[in-house]
Amino acid sequence: MSPTITRLPVSFLEGMLPGLPARGALRDYETWWEEEGKGISDATDRAGTPWVRMFDRIGNRVDEILLPPSYRTMVQKGYQEGILWRVFQENSLFSSYLLGYVASFYDPGLYCPYTVSLSTVVPLAKYGTDTLKDRFMPKLLERDGNAWQGATWMTEARGGSDLGATVETVAKPEGDWWLLDGDKYFCSNIGAELAVVAARPEGAPRDVRGLALYLVPRYRENGDLNYFIRRLKDKVSTRSVPTGEVELRGSEAYLLGKPEWGIYLIMDVLNFSRVANCIGSVAVMQRALAEALGFAEERVAFGKRIIEHPLLAKQFEDRLSDLRAAFAMAWESVNLLNETWRETPPFSERHHLLRLVAHLAKYWTAELAAQTAKWSMEVHGGMGVLSEYGVERWLREAMVLCIWEGTPHRQMLDGLEVMERKGAHRLLFEHMKPLADPKELAEMDSRVEEHLALPQEEKEARAEEIFPDLARFTAHALLAKGTG
| Lowest model confidence (mean pLDDT) among 77-91, 110-124, 273-287, 470-484 | 470-484
CB 262 within 8 A of CB 230: no
CB 78 within 8 A of CB 103: yes
379-418 pLDDT, tens per residue? 999 999 999 999 999 999 999 999 999 999 999 999 999 9
Distance, in Å, from the CA atom of 414 to the CA atom of 226, rounded to the nearest integer, reads: 34
Domains and CATH numbers, the chain: 9-140 (1.10.540), 152-260 (2.40.110.20), 263-481 (1.20.140.10)
pLDDT at 470 exceeding the cut of 60: yes
For residues 168-173, average pLDDT: 97
Q: What per-residue confidence (pLDDT) applies to 264?
A: 94
Contacts 24+ apart (CB under 8 A), 68-72: 68/43, 68/44, 70/40, 70/43, 71/40, 71/44, 71/240
Strand partners, 195: 216
SS3 197: strand
DSSP state letter for 219: B
Helix (H) or strand (E) segment spanning residue 178: strand 177-188
pLDDT at 5 exceeding the cut of 80: no
How far is residue 175 from each of residues 171, 179, 253, measured CA to CA in Å?
A: 13, 10, 11
